[in-house]
């Protein structure tokens, strides 16, 4: 292709997609040529015009040449599809809605909203897991519908406070009630005077549902029972009643999914509960363990946010703390102001 003498030459730009060559574009000092050939080597304008379909644009108006030059610059900036990272898997599509008066717009794409919601929920939560720490079904009815909880945690003391029977059959019914209310997990505590008895009860609890996690006190017998339930039976386990930072290593050693320190009780005994729990979390992170530090016996909302800022991501919250976290007077006042303004500015009926 001929080039005007002294004109600056812009290299040919090619856009490749799936091993196919798109038409190449070249700008030569006001003369623009489009070529469908993958080769930039030209032997003459006549031969090019006949065999390679070159379109000469030297006679085009200035505005059109400027527009073509902008197109070339756009293609230069665009990354090659051949080296771009693979896109994320597309979300499920239920249908493609056609344009309709009053509809969602031309070609509006209707996606699987449930799948999108689950993806957004996972992204928002990150590693955070909140449990409702009670066996009182009335509290479950009140707080589980908020959607903030991963599940519920119980133990024999909580069953006693709620007036619930401590038996495998009663706990099976309780578990299914929690699942019906949206809980993804329920933690049920085994019992027994020996390792064998704790294992036997734990197995009966574990087969209720795969979403059951078996809680076991972090005693010598409890650790042995936990080991058997995990390694021999494949049940998930929480080592509970943890009071010292080194006990999290014992939970990791047996492969427990959770280690549950009692923050409030540690403080009541004169320990620095927050420091102990942060040390547990650091040990878990430093050893690349999947064990979660599940903080129980929380006495104030600020304890949760402070520990979360230090990297702790799993909490069992009693209903009283949940109420304090959800009911913030300033937030409720602002919400009432918004609603008043919305009503005041609503269209008036004629």
Task: Give the tens place of pLDDT for each residue, 89-119.
Answer: 444 444 434 434 444 444 445 678 989 988 9
Q: pLDDT category, 326, cuts 50, 70, 90?
A: very high
Q: Where are the beta strands (DSSP E) in the chain?
A: 9-13, 16-17, 20-21, 24-28, 31-35, 55-56, 93-96, 109-111, 129-133, 151-153, 185-189, 212-217, 237-242, 258-261, 292-295, 314-317
Q: What is the pLDDT of residues 53-90, one digit of tens each?
A: 433 444 455 666 666 666 656 545 544 433 334 444 44
Measured CA to CA, the distance from residue 13 to residue 25 in angstroms comes to 6
C-alpha dihedral, 320 to 323 to 329 to 333, nearest 10°? -160
The whole-angstrom separation of Cα 207 and Cα 185 is 14
- Catalytically annotated residues: 215
Q: Are 316 and 260 in contact (CB under 8 A)?
A: yes
pLDDT level of residue 121 (50, 70, 90 thresholds): confident
Candidates 255, 187, 245, 194; CA nearest to 219 is 194
Across 14-18, 142-146, 266-270, 340-344, least confident range: 14-18
Q: What is the pLDDT of residues 313-323, one digit of tens each?
A: 999 999 999 99
Contacts 24+ apart (CB under 8 A), 45-51: 45/1, 45/2, 48/1
At 248-261, the pLDDT tens digits run: 999 999 999 999 99
pLDDT digits (tens, 9 = 90+) for 227-282: 999 999 999 999 999 999 999 999 999 999 999 999 999 999 999 999 999 999 99
Q: Is the pLDDT of residue 182 over 90?
A: yes
Say whether 62 sits in a helix, a strand or coil. Answer: helix
For residue 72, with 0-12 CB atoms within 10 Å meaning exposed, 13-18 middle and 19 or more buried, which class applies? middle
């Amino acid at each position: 292709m001929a080039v005007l003498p002294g004109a600056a030459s812009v290299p040919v730009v090619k856009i490749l997609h799936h091993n196919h060559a798109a038409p190449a574009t070249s700008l030569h000092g006001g003369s623009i040529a489009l070529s469908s050939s993958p080769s930039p080597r030209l032997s003459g304008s006549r031969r090019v015009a006949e065999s390679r379909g070159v379109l000469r644009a030297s006679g085009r108006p200035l505005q059109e040449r400027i527009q073509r030059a902008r197109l070339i610059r756009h293609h230069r900036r665009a990354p090659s599809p051949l080296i771009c990272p693979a896109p994320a898997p597309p979300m499920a599509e239920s249908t493609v809605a056609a344009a309709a008066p009053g509809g969602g717009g031309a070609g509006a794409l209707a996606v699987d909203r449930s799948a999108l919601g689950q993806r957004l929920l996972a992204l928002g939560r990150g590693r955070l897991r909140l449990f409702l720490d009670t066996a009182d079904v009335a509290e479950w009815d009140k707080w589980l519908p908020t959607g903030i909880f991963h599940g519920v945690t119980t133990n024999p003391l909580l069953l006693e406070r709620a007036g619930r029977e401590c038996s495998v059959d009663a706990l099976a019914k309780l578990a299914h009630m929690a699942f019906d209310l949206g809980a993804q997990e329920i933690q049920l505590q085994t019992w027994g005077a020996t390792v064998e008895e704790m294992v036997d009860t734990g197995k009966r609890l574990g087969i209720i549902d795969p979403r059951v996690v078996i809680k076991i006190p972090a005693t010598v017998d409890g650790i042995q029972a936990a080991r058997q339930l995990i390694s021999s039976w494949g049940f998930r386990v929480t080592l509970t009643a943890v009071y010292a930072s080194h006990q999290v290593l014992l939970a990791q050693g047996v492969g427990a999914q959770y280690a549950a320190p009692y923050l409030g009780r540690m403080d009541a005994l004169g320990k620095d509960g927050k420091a102990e729990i942060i040390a547990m979390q650091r040990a878990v992170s430093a050893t690349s363990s999947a064990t979660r530090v599940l903080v129980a016996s929380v006495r104030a909302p600020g304890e949760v946010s402070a520990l979360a800022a230090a990297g702790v991501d799993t909490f069992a919250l009693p209903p009283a703390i949940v109420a304090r976290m959800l009911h913030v007077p300033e937030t409720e006042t602002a919400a009432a102001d918004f609603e008043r303004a919305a009503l005041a500015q609503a269209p008036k009926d004629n």
